[in-house]
Structure 1
Amino acid sequence: MREVRATDLPHIREIYNYYVANSTVTFDEDAMTLAEWRDKFYYLNKQGMPFIVAVSPAGQILGYALVSPWKQKKAFRFTVENSIYLGAASTGKGLGRELLGELIKRSKAAGLKEIIAVIADQGADASIKLHRDFGFDEIGRMGKVGFKFERWLGTILLQKSLK
Protein backbone atom coordinates (compact mmCIF):
# COMPACT_ATOMS: atom_id res chain seq x y z
CA MET A 1 0.00 0.00 0.00
CA ARG A 2 1.16 3.48 -0.73
CA GLU A 3 -0.12 6.98 -1.30
CA VAL A 4 -1.52 7.66 -4.75
CA ARG A 5 0.72 9.46 -7.23
CA ALA A 6 -0.50 11.54 -10.16
CA THR A 7 0.91 8.88 -12.49
CA ASP A 8 -1.52 6.33 -10.97
CA LEU A 9 -4.60 8.27 -12.05
CA PRO A 10 -5.07 6.70 -15.51
CA HIS A 11 -5.17 3.26 -13.86
CA ILE A 12 -7.52 4.45 -11.12
CA ARG A 13 -9.79 5.97 -13.76
CA GLU A 14 -9.86 2.65 -15.62
CA ILE A 15 -10.78 0.70 -12.48
CA TYR A 16 -13.52 3.15 -11.50
CA ASN A 17 -15.00 3.51 -14.97
CA TYR A 18 -15.41 -0.27 -15.20
CA TYR A 19 -17.83 -0.04 -12.25
CA VAL A 20 -19.58 2.99 -13.74
CA ALA A 21 -20.31 1.02 -16.92
CA ASN A 22 -21.01 -2.39 -15.40
CA SER A 23 -22.43 -2.16 -11.89
CA THR A 24 -24.63 -0.34 -9.44
CA VAL A 25 -21.98 -0.05 -6.72
CA THR A 26 -21.50 3.51 -7.95
CA PHE A 27 -24.43 5.67 -8.92
CA ASP A 28 -22.30 7.54 -11.47
CA GLU A 29 -23.62 6.97 -14.97
CA ASP A 30 -20.91 8.78 -16.90
CA ALA A 31 -17.28 7.74 -17.00
CA MET A 32 -14.93 10.06 -15.14
CA THR A 33 -12.30 11.81 -17.21
CA LEU A 34 -8.64 11.98 -16.37
CA ALA A 35 -9.05 15.73 -15.75
CA GLU A 36 -11.79 15.01 -13.18
CA TRP A 37 -9.54 12.48 -11.45
CA ARG A 38 -6.67 14.99 -11.40
CA ASP A 39 -8.96 17.60 -9.81
CA LYS A 40 -10.09 15.07 -7.20
CA PHE A 41 -6.50 13.99 -6.50
CA TYR A 42 -5.27 17.55 -5.93
CA TYR A 43 -8.34 18.48 -3.87
CA LEU A 44 -7.98 15.44 -1.57
CA ASN A 45 -4.25 16.05 -1.26
CA LYS A 46 -4.85 19.70 -0.32
CA GLN A 47 -7.38 18.57 2.33
CA GLY A 48 -4.94 16.02 3.77
CA MET A 49 -7.30 13.15 2.99
CA PRO A 50 -5.84 9.63 2.65
CA PHE A 51 -5.87 8.28 -0.92
CA ILE A 52 -4.00 4.99 -1.30
CA VAL A 53 -3.37 2.27 -3.87
CA ALA A 54 -2.57 -1.41 -3.70
CA VAL A 55 0.23 -2.28 -6.10
CA SER A 56 1.37 -5.66 -7.40
CA PRO A 57 5.06 -6.63 -7.17
CA ALA A 58 5.28 -5.77 -10.88
CA GLY A 59 3.93 -2.27 -10.21
CA GLN A 60 0.36 -2.76 -11.48
CA ILE A 61 -2.38 -0.84 -9.66
CA LEU A 62 -4.73 -3.49 -8.23
CA GLY A 63 -7.16 -1.21 -6.42
CA TYR A 64 -7.52 2.02 -4.51
CA ALA A 65 -9.19 3.50 -1.45
CA LEU A 66 -9.85 7.07 -0.43
CA VAL A 67 -11.81 9.24 1.93
CA SER A 68 -13.40 12.51 0.95
CA PRO A 69 -15.29 15.15 2.91
CA TRP A 70 -18.77 13.98 3.89
CA LYS A 71 -20.23 17.45 3.38
CA GLN A 72 -18.76 20.82 2.45
CA LYS A 73 -19.93 22.70 5.55
CA LYS A 74 -17.04 23.38 7.94
CA ALA A 75 -18.69 21.68 10.92
CA PHE A 76 -18.40 18.34 9.06
CA ARG A 77 -14.61 18.66 8.63
CA PHE A 78 -13.81 15.60 10.78
CA THR A 79 -16.30 13.31 9.01
CA VAL A 80 -15.48 11.59 5.72
CA GLU A 81 -16.98 9.12 3.28
CA ASN A 82 -14.86 6.23 2.11
CA SER A 83 -14.58 4.59 -1.30
CA ILE A 84 -12.82 1.35 -2.20
CA TYR A 85 -12.56 -0.05 -5.71
CA LEU A 86 -10.62 -3.08 -6.93
CA GLY A 87 -9.59 -4.07 -10.42
CA ALA A 88 -11.87 -6.81 -11.73
CA ALA A 89 -9.07 -9.41 -11.50
CA SER A 90 -8.26 -8.43 -7.91
CA THR A 91 -11.60 -9.10 -6.22
CA GLY A 92 -12.16 -11.90 -3.73
CA LYS A 93 -8.53 -12.07 -2.57
CA GLY A 94 -8.67 -10.03 0.62
CA LEU A 95 -7.33 -6.88 -1.00
CA GLY A 96 -10.39 -4.81 -0.06
CA ARG A 97 -9.81 -5.80 3.56
CA GLU A 98 -6.17 -4.66 3.37
CA LEU A 99 -7.14 -1.36 1.75
CA LEU A 100 -9.90 -0.60 4.25
CA GLY A 101 -7.66 -1.43 7.21
CA GLU A 102 -4.93 0.87 5.94
CA LEU A 103 -7.44 3.59 5.06
CA ILE A 104 -8.84 3.53 8.61
CA LYS A 105 -5.33 3.68 10.08
CA ARG A 106 -4.37 6.64 7.89
CA SER A 107 -7.67 8.41 8.55
CA LYS A 108 -7.06 8.20 12.31
CA ALA A 109 -3.53 9.53 11.81
CA ALA A 110 -4.97 12.45 9.80
CA GLY A 111 -7.14 13.43 12.78
CA LEU A 112 -10.43 12.35 11.24
CA LYS A 113 -13.14 11.20 13.65
CA GLU A 114 -15.96 9.52 11.71
CA ILE A 115 -16.12 7.50 8.49
CA ILE A 116 -19.37 7.02 6.61
CA ALA A 117 -19.85 4.29 4.02
CA VAL A 118 -22.68 4.81 1.54
CA ILE A 119 -23.30 1.44 -0.10
CA ALA A 120 -25.80 0.43 -2.76
CA ASP A 121 -28.60 -1.73 -1.38
CA GLN A 122 -28.32 -4.14 -4.33
CA GLY A 123 -25.24 -6.00 -5.53
CA ALA A 124 -22.88 -4.87 -2.77
CA ASP A 125 -23.20 -7.62 -0.15
CA ALA A 126 -19.41 -8.13 0.01
CA SER A 127 -18.87 -4.43 0.70
CA ILE A 128 -21.49 -4.40 3.45
CA LYS A 129 -19.91 -7.45 5.09
CA LEU A 130 -16.42 -5.96 4.81
CA HIS A 131 -17.47 -2.74 6.52
CA ARG A 132 -19.33 -4.60 9.26
CA ASP A 133 -16.24 -6.74 9.85
CA PHE A 134 -14.33 -3.50 10.53
CA GLY A 135 -16.87 -2.29 13.08
CA PHE A 136 -19.06 -0.10 10.91
CA ASP A 137 -22.64 0.04 12.20
CA GLU A 138 -25.69 0.54 10.03
CA ILE A 139 -27.12 3.99 10.72
CA GLY A 140 -29.81 4.20 8.06
CA ARG A 141 -31.24 3.32 4.71
CA MET A 142 -32.54 5.44 1.90
CA GLY A 143 -34.82 3.78 -0.61
CA LYS A 144 -35.12 4.61 -4.29
CA VAL A 145 -32.68 7.52 -4.24
CA GLY A 146 -30.84 6.51 -7.41
CA PHE A 147 -31.96 5.36 -10.85
CA LYS A 148 -29.45 3.42 -12.94
CA PHE A 149 -29.79 0.69 -15.56
CA GLU A 150 -33.55 1.29 -15.69
CA ARG A 151 -34.14 0.44 -12.03
CA TRP A 152 -34.45 2.23 -8.72
CA LEU A 153 -31.69 1.79 -6.16
CA GLY A 154 -31.32 2.65 -2.53
CA THR A 155 -28.40 3.06 -0.19
CA ILE A 156 -27.32 1.66 3.14
CA LEU A 157 -25.37 4.02 5.38
CA LEU A 158 -22.78 2.65 7.79
CA GLN A 159 -20.62 4.59 10.22
CA LYS A 160 -17.43 3.97 12.20
CA SER A 161 -16.01 6.18 14.93
CA LEU A 162 -12.23 6.57 14.88
CA LYS A 163 -11.89 7.95 18.41
Structure 2
Amino acid sequence: MPLHIRDATEADIPAIAALYAEEVRERVATYEYDVPDEAEMAQRMRAVQAAGYPYFVAERDGRFAGYAYASSYRSRIGYRWTVEDTVYIVPEHQGQGVGKALLQRLIDACEASGFRQMIAVIGEPANGASVALHEKLGFRTVGVFQGLGRKHGRWLDTVQMQRALGARDGAAPSDE
Protein backbone atom coordinates (compact mmCIF):
# COMPACT_ATOMS: atom_id res chain seq x y z
CA MET A 1 0.00 0.00 0.00
CA PRO A 2 2.16 2.90 -1.21
CA LEU A 3 1.70 6.26 0.48
CA HIS A 4 2.13 9.43 -1.54
CA ILE A 5 2.34 12.94 -0.06
CA ARG A 6 1.82 15.84 -2.47
CA ASP A 7 0.78 19.48 -2.56
CA ALA A 8 -2.96 19.95 -2.13
CA THR A 9 -4.96 21.30 -5.07
CA GLU A 10 -8.48 22.61 -5.60
CA ALA A 11 -9.41 19.11 -6.82
CA ASP A 12 -8.84 17.86 -3.26
CA ILE A 13 -11.43 20.19 -1.71
CA PRO A 14 -14.37 17.73 -1.75
CA ALA A 15 -12.35 15.12 0.17
CA ILE A 16 -10.84 17.69 2.54
CA ALA A 17 -14.24 19.25 3.20
CA ALA A 18 -15.85 15.84 3.83
CA LEU A 19 -13.17 14.79 6.33
CA TYR A 20 -13.29 18.12 8.13
CA ALA A 21 -17.11 18.03 8.23
CA GLU A 22 -16.95 14.69 10.04
CA GLU A 23 -14.49 16.17 12.55
CA VAL A 24 -16.74 19.18 13.14
CA ARG A 25 -19.89 17.07 13.62
CA GLU A 26 -18.51 14.09 15.54
CA ARG A 27 -15.30 14.97 17.38
CA VAL A 28 -13.42 17.70 19.21
CA ALA A 29 -10.19 18.05 17.24
CA THR A 30 -11.69 21.35 16.10
CA TYR A 31 -13.88 23.55 18.24
CA GLU A 32 -15.82 24.74 15.21
CA TYR A 33 -19.57 24.07 15.46
CA ASP A 34 -20.86 24.74 11.94
CA VAL A 35 -19.64 22.62 9.04
CA PRO A 36 -18.04 24.85 6.41
CA ASP A 37 -19.06 24.16 2.83
CA GLU A 38 -16.64 23.34 0.01
CA ALA A 39 -16.44 26.98 -1.09
CA GLU A 40 -15.33 28.01 2.40
CA MET A 41 -12.80 25.18 2.60
CA ALA A 42 -11.41 26.19 -0.81
CA GLN A 43 -11.08 29.79 0.37
CA ARG A 44 -9.27 28.65 3.52
CA MET A 45 -6.84 26.53 1.49
CA ARG A 46 -6.15 29.38 -0.94
CA ALA A 47 -5.48 31.75 1.97
CA VAL A 48 -3.00 29.33 3.57
CA GLN A 49 -1.18 28.78 0.29
CA ALA A 50 -1.21 32.48 -0.68
CA ALA A 51 0.43 33.31 2.65
CA GLY A 52 3.30 30.98 1.71
CA TYR A 53 2.49 28.08 4.00
CA PRO A 54 2.58 24.43 2.89
CA TYR A 55 -0.62 22.42 2.43
CA PHE A 56 -0.32 18.68 1.70
CA VAL A 57 -2.55 15.72 0.91
CA ALA A 58 -1.77 12.06 1.58
CA GLU A 59 -2.96 9.35 -0.78
CA ARG A 60 -2.74 5.64 -0.23
CA ASP A 61 -3.23 3.54 -3.36
CA GLY A 62 -4.56 6.64 -5.11
CA ARG A 63 -7.22 7.28 -2.45
CA PHE A 64 -7.38 10.34 -0.22
CA ALA A 65 -6.04 9.46 3.25
CA GLY A 66 -5.67 12.83 4.95
CA TYR A 67 -4.30 16.33 4.81
CA ALA A 68 -2.01 18.66 6.71
CA TYR A 69 -1.04 22.29 6.55
CA ALA A 70 0.86 24.94 8.45
CA SER A 71 -0.50 28.39 9.16
CA SER A 72 0.32 31.45 11.18
CA TYR A 73 0.42 30.77 14.90
CA ARG A 74 -0.62 34.34 15.70
CA SER A 75 -1.05 37.45 13.59
CA ARG A 76 1.42 39.80 15.30
CA ILE A 77 4.65 40.39 13.33
CA GLY A 78 6.88 39.04 16.10
CA TYR A 79 5.35 35.58 15.61
CA ARG A 80 6.14 35.42 11.87
CA TRP A 81 8.71 32.63 12.33
CA THR A 82 6.25 30.43 14.27
CA VAL A 83 3.70 28.18 12.60
CA GLU A 84 0.82 26.04 13.84
CA ASP A 85 0.32 22.61 12.33
CA THR A 86 -2.98 21.02 11.39
CA VAL A 87 -3.29 17.30 10.56
CA TYR A 88 -6.47 15.31 9.81
CA ILE A 89 -6.46 11.63 8.84
CA VAL A 90 -9.32 9.61 7.37
CA PRO A 91 -10.37 7.23 10.20
CA GLU A 92 -9.66 4.01 8.28
CA HIS A 93 -6.10 5.24 7.61
CA GLN A 94 -5.32 6.19 11.21
CA GLY A 95 -2.54 4.25 12.92
CA GLN A 96 -0.89 3.37 9.59
CA GLY A 97 1.81 6.05 9.41
CA VAL A 98 -0.18 8.56 7.36
CA GLY A 99 -0.15 11.21 10.08
CA LYS A 100 3.55 10.73 10.71
CA ALA A 101 4.37 11.06 7.00
CA LEU A 102 2.24 14.18 6.61
CA LEU A 103 3.58 15.86 9.74
CA GLN A 104 7.20 15.05 8.84
CA ARG A 105 6.70 16.52 5.36
CA LEU A 106 5.16 19.61 6.97
CA ILE A 107 8.08 19.96 9.38
CA ASP A 108 10.58 19.61 6.52
CA ALA A 109 8.78 22.20 4.38
CA CYS A 110 8.55 24.68 7.24
CA GLU A 111 12.23 24.26 8.10
CA ALA A 112 13.15 24.81 4.44
CA SER A 113 11.09 28.03 4.50
CA GLY A 114 12.99 29.37 7.52
CA PHE A 115 10.36 28.95 10.21
CA ARG A 116 11.82 28.46 13.70
CA GLN A 117 9.02 26.97 15.85
CA MET A 118 6.00 24.76 15.24
CA ILE A 119 3.07 24.70 17.63
CA ALA A 120 0.46 21.95 17.90
CA VAL A 121 -2.89 22.91 19.40
CA ILE A 122 -4.58 19.61 20.25
CA GLY A 123 -8.23 19.60 21.18
CA GLU A 124 -8.52 17.60 24.35
CA PRO A 125 -5.71 15.75 26.16
CA ALA A 126 -7.62 12.49 25.65
CA ASN A 127 -6.60 12.69 21.97
CA GLY A 128 -3.67 10.44 22.79
CA ALA A 129 -3.00 9.48 19.18
CA SER A 130 -2.34 13.09 18.21
CA VAL A 131 -0.21 13.72 21.29
CA ALA A 132 1.81 10.53 20.60
CA LEU A 133 2.25 11.46 16.93
CA HIS A 134 3.65 14.85 17.85
CA GLU A 135 5.92 13.38 20.54
CA LYS A 136 7.37 10.92 17.99
CA LEU A 137 8.39 13.87 15.84
CA GLY A 138 10.07 15.86 18.59
CA PHE A 139 7.26 17.95 20.05
CA ARG A 140 6.98 18.42 23.79
CA THR A 141 3.96 19.40 25.81
CA VAL A 142 4.32 22.96 27.06
CA GLY A 143 0.92 23.32 28.65
CA VAL A 144 -2.68 22.31 28.98
CA PHE A 145 -5.35 24.99 28.98
CA GLN A 146 -8.21 23.76 31.13
CA GLY A 147 -11.78 24.34 29.98
CA LEU A 148 -10.58 26.48 27.07
CA GLY A 149 -13.37 25.47 24.69
CA ARG A 150 -16.86 24.05 24.79
CA LYS A 151 -18.35 21.56 22.33
CA HIS A 152 -20.89 18.73 22.42
CA GLY A 153 -22.15 19.95 25.79
CA ARG A 154 -18.88 19.77 27.67
CA TRP A 155 -15.87 21.89 28.53
CA LEU A 156 -12.67 20.84 26.80
CA ASP A 157 -9.04 21.16 27.73
CA THR A 158 -6.52 22.00 25.02
CA VAL A 159 -2.95 20.67 24.82
CA GLN A 160 -0.22 22.95 23.51
CA MET A 161 2.91 21.26 22.14
CA GLN A 162 6.02 22.85 20.65
CA ARG A 163 8.92 21.81 18.42
CA ALA A 164 11.95 23.81 17.32
CA LEU A 165 12.57 23.99 13.58
CA GLY A 166 15.74 24.57 11.59
CA ALA A 167 18.58 26.52 13.15
CA ARG A 168 18.44 26.18 16.90
CA ASP A 169 21.30 28.54 17.69
CA GLY A 170 19.13 31.53 18.66
CA ALA A 171 20.45 33.66 15.80
CA ALA A 172 18.01 36.15 14.32
CA PRO A 173 16.54 35.27 10.92
CA SER A 174 18.17 37.07 8.01
CA ASP A 175 15.12 39.28 7.31
CA GLU A 176 14.97 40.93 10.73
- TM-score bracket, shorter-length normalisation: over 0.9
Q: Which runs of 5+ in 2 are unaligned?
A: 167-176
Q: What is the rounded CA distance, in whole Å, between the counterparts of 2:125 and 2:104 in structure 1?
A: 24
Aligned-pair CA distance for 1:122: 4.1
1:32 and 2:13 matched: no
Q: Which aligned pairs between 1:12-161 and structure 2 lie closer than 5 A?
A: 12-57=16-61, 59-161=62-164
Q: Is the 8 A contact 2:28 2:124 kept in 1?
A: no
Q: Tell me which amino acid in the other structure corresponds to 1:78.
A: W
CA RMSD of aligned residues (A): 1.1
Q: Given that residues 15 and 85 in structure 1 are in contact (C-alpha distance below 8 angstroms), is that contact kept between their aligned partners in structure 2?
A: yes
Secondary structure class of the residue paired with 2:120: strand
Q: In the comparison of the two structures, how many residue pairs are matched?
A: 162
Q: Is the CA contact (8 Å cut-off) linking 1:53 and 1:64 kept in structure 2?
A: yes
Which AA in structure 1 matches 2:64?
I
In terms of Rg, which structure is larger?
A: 2
Q: Secondary structure at the match of 1:30?
A: coil
- Matched residues in 2 for 1:90 and 1:129: separation? 16
Q: Runs of 4 or more off by more than 3 Å in structure 1?
A: none
TM-score (norm 2): 0.88
Task: Please report the TM-score for the alignment, with normalisation by the length of structure 1.
Answer: 0.95
Shift of 1:123: 3.4
* Separation of aligned partners in 1, 2:143 and 2:126: 18
Among 4, 11, 15, the alignment partner of 1:7 is 11
What amino acid is aligned across from residue 45 of structure 2 in structure 1? F
For residue 142 of structure 1, report the CA deviation from its aligned partner: 0.6
Distance 2:8 2:26 in 1: 24
